[in-house]
Structure 1
Amino acid sequence: MTQAGKLDKVLTELDQGLDEALDRLIGFLRIPSISTDPAHKADVRAGAEWLCNELQTLGFTADIRDTTGHPMVVASSQPGEGRSLLFYGHYDVQPVDPLDLWDRPPFEPELQDTPDGKVIRARGASDDKGQLMTFVEACRAWKAVHGALPAGLTLLFEGEEESGSPSLLPFLEANAQELSASLALICDTGLYADGRPAITTQLRGLVGEEVVIRAADRDLHSGHFGGLAANPIMVLAQGLAALKDDQGRVTLPGFYDGVEELSDELRSDWDALGFDAEDFLSSVGLKHPIGEKGRTPLDMQWNQPTAEINGIAGGYAGDGFKTVLPAEARAKVSFRLTGTQDPARVRAAFREHMRGVLPADCEIEFHEHGGSPASVMDITDPAFAAAKQALTEEWGREAAFIGAGGSIPIAGDFKRMLGMDSMLIGFGREDDRIHSPNEKYDVESFAKGARSWARILATLR
């Protein structure tokens, strides 16, 4: 039988087994594996045990690896001559509060008919149990047709992603040889906004910083001291306002070192998406995009770095009015990074900038709130073009290479610690309500997601 014929049989196997696959997913979703709540520690382990047992039943060599927190599940197939692949997902879920906003109990999954099609409603349906099970089901169908699992696969399923992954980096370091592969596959993403299949090829990094400015030893009467004594809020505001010029560019020296312009291929892909910035902003009550002059909206959202003020506190902000010069003011600031920007250099430049606006009578201190570089994948690897074509064939729409405005640290960790790029492919939709009440996953996403992975595996064997 030709490879194309075998692929067709795998796809048919997935179609015929969809109801049973949904039953398995429903069983998985019943487990309240909330990693942030110590009361659910046993439930998180139960989720790991369910997954490990399922993988062993399929023929994977699978076991549960204990950590100082929640366990990892690691599984592997027999080595082969093709390229080795590491697939990553997480089986823990977000808390469910506020519970009264759920239309049904969050761990009693249900298939529901909606105006947009059938969905499965439950916590974790989209983030990330439904997503990771698309790959598991693709492997199940592959074995049914080929008589064996795809060779050279390693699966890593984490139980702490929703609680900050405290055990992940030590685990990667301790198991680097076992987990290293030629390419990582990550499912914790989604379709593009209009339902178009996509491969995320770059993710922004992040620097978080809190700055505190202090002056007098107490709040001062603005009538007695105003105009004479230093006002920490004013000093803070001046420093923060000077972070950008009138063209929308960040003014920190060396800030744009490592930021690269889009390649022609990515620019063409992004232009073809037809992104409407006004429509995007209208969903949150806005209309007019801002940002650096001369940049397209997607360039600003995915490929350009940012400087944003996330919170300011100081003085009196309660009911009524209190005319004081505050003794202290503070702000939380974040920078989204792209290209090869160095988080440490960006943090140092921000601190130097704020020290430069400080009057003699003021003191300043900084508190670090994490930092990670951007992740940019090498799309010249033929696997990316092959996967893009596979997605296009499955969904009947041209797949796109896209960026992400946020950060998915695991992709950077794989690059930095294991030396491999990641292909981020997921099938969630913007209305899946992840992290919110009434989370759902479209049955179409689940079914076509599994078929997509089957096609991708076929191109990479």
Structure 2
Amino acid sequence: MAVITPVLERADANLPQSLDRLFDLVRIQSISTDPGFKAECRKAAEWLVAELRALDFDASLRETPGHPMVVGHHAGANPSAPHLLFYGHYDVQPVDPLDLWEAPPFEPALKEVEPGQKVITGRGTSDDKGQLMTFVEALRAYKETKGSLPCRITILFEGEEESGSPSLKPFLEANAAELKADYALICDTGMWDRETPAISAGLRGLVGEEVVVKAADRDLHSGLYGGAAANPIHILAGILAGLHDGTGRVTLENFYDGVEETPSDIRAMWSKLDRTAEKFLGEVGLSIPSGEKGRSVLELTWARPTAEVNGIVGGYTGEGFKTVIASQASAKVSFRLVGRQDPGKIRESFRAYVRARIPADCSVEFHPHGGSPAIQLPYDSALLNTAKAALSEEWPKPAIVIGMGGSIPIVGDFQKMLGMESLLVGFGLADDRIHSPNEKYELTSFHKGIRSWIRILDALAA
């Protein structure tokens, strides 16, 4: 601890200037999805290259078919320490609707919202400029105090995360040897609450599928054909209803292959977080969990697979009434995956299930909509537990290990393409209003986020 105390103190002393630098970055209107802001995205990338070079990184702007990447390398003081790759993104979401902002979105400010609680306002403060700058400022405090970094660091900042990252996979493929490290650090996540840091150990995978059931060669008069002709809406509705049994389990053959039970100590940790079904679902006007019986809402959303119908279309849906038997019906279905579930096998199992329920005089078509495996860091991983202990030293409450119901594609790319485990640590909060008007980032998240990375880097280097 004594070794990094001067580094932590330097981070504290640097905070006013660290805020100034964050404000400078937030002022750059790097909206990646709008071609009108192409020059601003490049300006943000160039700004970051300059900041990294000021910290003695070998940093450069790398061209892509879209917005440029920022890549930087720095040798560490300890050649036996792990090589770490840090990832973040400098692009931001559009600001619409502008009239709902309480202040101009690209004019950041420090605002006291309650006594003792200050927030940094502006687009990108939480997603992801404030988050990535916690790491940069941690490196700065290290350099200014020690003259070097505790381990070898590679930086990768992209400028298309908010627009689907079309250039990222080709860039990783083309530069795999340069970018490969021992571990990846990803900051685009959040805390459990204002006092409790979190490490995300699991990300659910995804399989998307559109199914189209076809019957007659045209829409039919329900008076003339009703009771005799196959109705594709009935067929599809029955298929979808059969995806779950009475206990909420998915009925597809071999669906649970690769699904492991969450360790009892992790479930015990989650049970102490006071996320009841009534509280969680009550926020959206519900109260009764609909998934597998006997499991908590955190386990259902973090560690269990799902089958969900996301849309269904068939027949006449306009104003008034039209008595027809539709010629076809379609649905969009998604599966969230966990553990070692195979996206390809899940897709084929679903298709086999559907085909077995199509009448002989009807047909079915399938249209895939993406597929990615789940990511699961072992709960007993040394990487995870080292970071957990370091975070617990900084915050009022011990760090917890959580899951994430959604997915972060870059984590899978790092694992599949570069063979790296990822450590997901971020300091955003649920009420940061990312992607919405009036985005903010807590000053405490920024300040203690810098200090947290200092502790994590020191612990990993040791």
TM over 0.5: yes
Determine if the alignment matches structure 1 residue 114 to structure 2 residue 113.
Answer: yes
Separation (CA, whole Å) in 1 of partners of 2:131 and 2:43: 19
Superimposed CA distance per residue, residues 397-418 of structure 1 (whole angstroms, 9 cap, x where no aligned partner): 0111111111111111111111
Q: Residue 162 of structure 1 aligns with which residue?
A: 162
Kindly report which structure 2 residues correspond to 1:255-274, keeping only aligned pairs within 5 A, or say none: 255-274=255-274
Separation (CA, whole Å) in 2 of partners of 1:448 and 1:439: 19
Q: Which amino acid aligns with 2:155?
A: L
Superimposed CA distance per residue, residues 415-435 of structure 1 (whole angstroms, 9 cap, x where no aligned partner): 111111111000000001111
Determine if the alignment matches structure 1 residue 17 to structure 2 residue 14.
Answer: yes
Contact 2:195 2:397 in 1 (8 A): no
Residue aligned with 1:301, SS: helix
Determine if the alignment matches structure 1 residue 87 to structure 2 residue 86.
Answer: yes
Q: Residue 352 of structure 2 aligns with which residue?
A: 352
Identify which range, 243-252 or 222-231, moves more after superposition: 222-231
Q: Residue 132 of structure 2 aligns with which residue?
A: 132
Contact 1:139 1:150 in 2 (8 A): no
Q: Residue 245 of structure 1 aligns with which residue?
A: 245
* Cα shift at 1:21: 0.8
Separation (CA, whole Å) in 2 of partners of 1:422 and 1:129: 20
Superimposed CA distance per residue, residues 27-57 of structure 1 (whole angstroms, 9 cap, x where no aligned partner): 1011111111112111111111111111111
Kindly report which structure 2 residues correspond to 1:365-384, keeping only aligned pairs within 5 A, or say none: 365-384=365-384
Separation (CA, whole Å) in 1 of partners of 2:54 and 2:318: 61
* Cα shift at 1:363: 2.1
Determine if the alignment matches structure 1 residue 405 to structure 2 residue 405.
Answer: yes
* Cα shift at 1:267: 2.3
Contact 1:172 1:179 in 2 (8 A): yes
Q: Residue 291 of structure 1 aligns with which residue?
A: 291
Separation (CA, whole Å) in 1 of partners of 2:194 and 2:241: 36
Separation (CA, whole Å) in 2 of partners of 1:85 and 1:253: 41
Superimposed CA distance per residue, residues 217-268 of structure 1 (whole angstroms, 9 cap, x where no aligned partner): 2222111111111111111111111100011000000110000111234223
Q: Residue 68 of structure 2 aligns with which residue?
A: 71
Q: Residue 307 of structure 1 aligns with which residue?
A: 307
Separation (CA, whole Å) in 1 of partners of 2:253 and 2:345: 10
Superimposed CA distance per residue, residues 309-331 of structure 1 (whole angstroms, 9 cap, x where no aligned partner): 11111212222222111122111
Separation (CA, whole Å) in 2 of partners of 1:5 and 1:198: 25
Contact 1:59 1:149 in 2 (8 A): no
Q: Which amino acid aligns with 2:53?
A: Q
Q: Residue 60 of structure 1 aligns with which residue?
A: 57
* Cα shift at 1:361: 2.7
Determine if the alignment matches structure 1 residue 98 to structure 2 residue 75.
Answer: no
Identify which range, 198-207 or 102-111, moves more after superposition: 102-111
Residue aligned with 1:437, SS: coil
Separation (CA, whole Å) in 1 of partners of 2:347 and 2:94: 32
Q: Residue 196 of structure 2 aligns with which residue?
A: 196
Residue aligned with 1:112, SS: strand
Q: Residue 445 of structure 1 aligns with which residue?
A: 445
Contact 1:96 1:123 in 2 (8 A): yes
Contact 1:198 1:425 in 2 (8 A): yes
Determine if the alignment matches structure 1 residue 40 to structure 2 residue 25.
Answer: no
Unmatched 5+ stretches in structure 2: none
Contact 1:6 1:145 in 2 (8 A): no
* Cα shift at 1:6: 3.3
Q: Which amino acid aligns with 2:60?
A: D
* Cα shift at 1:194: 6.0
Superimposed CA distance per residue, residues 153-195 of structure 1 (whole angstroms, 9 cap, x where no aligned partner): 1111111111111111111122111111111110000001464
Contact 1:6 1:146 in 2 (8 A): no
Contact 2:313 2:330 in 1 (8 A): yes
Q: Which amino acid aligns with 2:396?
A: G
User: Aligned pair in 2 of structure 1 residues 286, 115: CA closer, same or farther (>3 Å)?
Assistant: farther
Contact 2:66 2:167 in 1 (8 A): yes
Contact 1:7 1:455 in 2 (8 A): yes
TM-score, structure 2 normalization: 0.96
Identify which range, 129-138 or 410-419, moves more after superposition: 410-419
Contact 2:134 2:450 in 1 (8 A): yes
